[in-house]
Amino acid sequence: MNCEVVAVGTELLLGQIVDTNSSWIGEQLALAGIDCFLQVKVGDNWDRIRDALQIALDRSDAVIVCGGLGPTQDDITRDVIAEVMGVELVEDPEVIERLHEIFGSRGRNMPMNNLRQAQVPEGASRIAQMPGTAPGLMCPIGDKVIFAVPGVPYEMKEMVEGTVIPELRRRAGDTGVIRSRTIRTWGHSESGIAEMLADRLDELDRTGTATIAFLASGIEGLKVRVTAKADTAEQADAVVAAEIDEVAKILADYVFTTEDQTMEEVVLDLLRERGLTLGLAESLTGGLIASRLVSIPGASDVLQGSVVSYASEVKFDVLGVPVGPVVSDDAVRAMSEGACRVLNSDVGIAVTGVAGPDEQEGVPVGTVFMATTLDGVTETSMAKFPFNREQSRQFTVITVLDHLRRRLLAR
Amino acid sequence: MNCEVVAVGTELLLGQIVDTNSSWIGEQLALAGIDCFLQVKVGDNWDRIRDALQIALDRSDAVIVCGGLGPTQDDITRDVIAEVMGVELVEDPEVIERLHEIFGSRGRNMPMNNLRQAQVPEGASRIAQMPGTAPGLMCPIGDKVIFAVPGVPYEMKEMVEGTVIPELRRRAGDTGVIRSRTIRTWGHSESGIAEMLADRLDELDRTGTATIAFLASGIEGLKVRVTAKADTAEQADAVVAAEIDEVAKILADYVFTTEDQTMEEVVLDLLRERGLTLGLAESLTGGLIASRLVSIPGASDVLQGSVVSYASEVKFDVLGVPVGPVVSDDAVRAMSEGACRVLNSDVGIAVTGVAGPDEQEGVPVGTVFMATTLDGVTETSMAKFPFNREQSRQFTVITVLDHLRRRLLAR
């Protein structure tokens, strides 16, 4: 079974929008064991969409066409598919009813243009998931099939996950169910993690019960994805859960979540469960730790605030850092304890360092001092990041949060 | 003249890398007035690359193939192009010499695999820009042409800008030079900006001296791009500069830069020129204003720091906000003045608001109070953003920085 992807939209060719939809669809197809040999971007042009669909259909068992299902005159995907199928468009009364419902619930009259979205090629069926106003379509052509899904990412994703992939797998004679879950780790390299799991990978190669893939994801952590296939979702989930447990046991405290949470969520949850509040003192990161924490709903239960002490005098005057070198172990320790005092928090985190472009007080660019204060005890560490300004900051955030995580767990 | 783009790499189809190269190339082609009707992604497979190139060449005047020029066995773009051209690969001694130089200067021996990169289809010529080890190729086939460029973005960009686009324009009989510059605005909608420029757009339609395009770019501001074509770069630059002046005059203080700077850069520059330091008090934005300012090298000249007062008690205790409702005009005013006092800064910015998911003190989600303190005078404003948590924060950052920008200019 192989499936091509055709993304429709002149704005994609002009580079106004990057086509991330095809990449995401490609990943889902690969996960489901369906080959995807070609992906095409084509503008909103009747002849060229038709030719692109025809060529794709000649080469492949299935085509997913993404975009061009909206209500405007530009949106011609429905019409072109009908031509490729050699059928007429017919009106789908259920879609019209749904459109009236959507517009009615918003207290607005429906523009006549939207009725175009109820036009369906004869013989095509609607894709069940309909989060927006544009229904997706499943269009059989002989023993092949064209799926049409909207270009709006969340609508597209619902339809691809809910209908397109299961239907492709059914057509491939593949009646099993594929499930996967992700572990996230921090503090070890990809090759290091792979080495720790070498025996387990060999074992899985032999038994074939599950597969493991590594995805280096920058500040999201290094992800380890476990995938398994079984006759039912329950069976597949059980295999994945058992394997996640095995892998988590081997990787021990490098694992910060088996539930695909971010490091920020994990640390906020650990603090909340223990009834602890957090205060920050940030120099190098300039507010980035606070800003990433507050992007998690409910952060206000835990986070008191942050003193972004970019100027040295703010470190001295507000945080009570002793006058002296401000990129140092002593300074970061005083900052973390100062954060607890000034912000009246149980726990402190502090970061100072040299972002560059120039060295500071003789300390080279990329040097970072980090501190955490917990139960009145402050621990510090130093790192040298070989990255640029922005990456160094991002890596500092996840690294210092990971320090606090480990201390909270070891408490 | 029309030109297709073929991006080569199995990792693109698997969704491990998003194909931003094609988007960028598409934008450059559009700017140069060259049509690009199709873009294709294909894996590292001989037959499929050959077929993709052949189909593209049948349809178009030119093809840019991106990727697959590296030294490994997977990198077969050179070989496939030779087959499509119907020629042999020949060794290019200059490339070999260059490879030896590159490896020599790094004190490393050259792996034999790298010699593959010196294999060039007979009749093809090297693209002059060679930042890395993979030379780009210009491969004429009858009156058509295939350009092969590396997948590494900065190498690809140098070659496309330096050779591919000029050569395509030469082939199109287009000897002029195209230049463009961008104005960024804030505070008015895209349709509002378009309305202000309506007469100017009509005028340009008549005279054809330049074109104007709008690009809504979220927190980057609404961009207005002016493009002109002339016989020489100097002439085109002069036309663009004159038109930028016209447009900037019409849009007046909605324009925050005619030099494509970010709002953060503009505000930091204005403060630095005036010898003023800045202190922040952030609740809703949770450190985001500080974090975006410190990502600009040299921010430390201006930025003293930020008090991220997420908890109400930090507003009261650290910033001296009077006990009472913390999402209010009074509170934001006290925060801004508190920031100046605590951080010892000349200028203050403060933000408080309701990020959601729930309302706070009876104030609905999306409500934001902003303040700026300058020369001892604090001005406040209120906004209601209909966005999600993250977008509200981002829009707040650029909106409050824009307030300060206007005050600094009006001073």
Least confident of A145-159, A332-346, B270-284: A145-159
Per-residue HEC secondary structure of A204-254 comes to HHHHCCCEEEEEECHHHCEEEEEEEEECCHHHHHHHHHHHHHHHHHHHHHH
Which listed CATH number (3.40.50.2300, 3.10.150.10, 3.30.70.2860, 3.30.230.10) goes with B177-257? 3.30.70.2860
Identify any residues that bridge with A119 across adjacent strands, giving them in sequence order: A91
Q: Are A168 and A1 contacting, i.e. CB atoms less than 8 angstroms apart? A: yes
Strands A303-309, B255-257: pairing is unpaired
Q: Is the pLDDT of residue A107 over 90?
A: no
Query: If you ran DSSP here, which 8-state letter would residue B72 be given?
Result: S
Distance CA B26, CA B165 (A): 11
- The whole-number pLDDT of residue B16 equals 80
CATH superfamily assigned to domain B263-410 = CinA-like (3.90.950.20)
Measured between beta carbons, which residues in chain A are less than 8 angstroms from residue B302?
none
- Are B23 and A30 within 8 A, CB to CB? no
CA angle A194, A195, A197 (to 5 degrees): 65
Query: If you ran DSSP here, which 8-state letter would residue B2 be given?
Result: B
**Which chain A residue shows the shortest CA-CA distance from B307?**
A307
Domain boundary assignment for chain B: 3-171, 177-257, 263-410
Positive/negative CA dihedral, B292, B293, B299, B303: negative
Positive/negative CA dihedral, B104, B110, B115, B117: negative
Distance CA B401, CA B380 (A): 13
Give A218's pLDDT tier (boundaries 50, 70, 90). Answer: confident
In tens, the pLDDT along B69-90 reads: 987 778 899 999 999 999 999 9
Give A409's pLDDT tier (boundaries 50, 70, 90). Answer: very high
Measured between beta carbons, which residues in chain A are less than 8 angstroms from residue B297?
356-357, 389
Q: What is the DSSP string of A282-309?
A: ESTTTTHHHHHHHTSTTGGGTEEEEEEE
Nearest residue to B119 (alpha-carbon basis) of B84, B151, B150, B81: B81
In tens, the pLDDT along A336-350 reads: 999 999 999 999 999
Quote the ipTM score: 0.79
For A30, the token pair is 């690969």
Mean pLDDT of all residues in A189-217? 88
- Tell me the one-letter amino acid at B286: G
Mean pLDDT of all residues in B31-53? 94
Distance CA B183, CA B260 (A): 6
- Tell me the one-letter amino acid at A270: L
pLDDT, averaged across chain B: 92
Pick B14's closest partner by Cβ from A12, A30, A48: A30
Q: Is the pLDDT of residue B255 over 90?
A: yes
Distance CA B300, CA B293 (A): 9
- Are A13 and B25 within 8 A, CB to CB? no
What is the nearest CA distance from B3 to chain A, expressed in angstroms? 11
Distance CA A399, CA A5 (A): 39
- The whole-number pLDDT of residue B232 equals 87
What are the φ and ψ backbone dihedral angles of A297, each rounded to 5 degrees? -55, 135
Least confident of A19-28, A387-396, B105-114, B181-190: B105-114
Q: Are A136 and A147 contacting, i.e. CB atoms less than 8 angstroms apart? A: yes
- Are B314 and A305 within 8 A, CB to CB? yes
- Are B52 and A38 within 8 A, CB to CB? yes
Least confident of A61-65, B48-52, B73-77, B296-300: B73-77
Is the pTM higher than 0.90? no
CA angle B141, B142, B147 (to 5 degrees): 30
Mutate to test the interface with A, among B2, B8, B23 (most CBs of A within 10 A): B23
- The whole-number pLDDT of residue A110 equals 75
Strands B89-91, B119-121: pairing is antiparallel
In tens, the pLDDT along B304-321 reads: 999 999 999 999 999 999
- Tell me the one-letter amino acid at B151: G
Q: Kindly report the CATH class assigned to A3-171.
A: alpha beta
- Are A38 and B40 within 8 A, CB to CB? yes
Q: Are A293 and A268 contacting, i.e. CB atoms less than 8 angstroms apart? A: yes
In tens, the pLDDT along A260-298 reads: 899 999 999 999 999 999 999 999 999 999 999 999 999
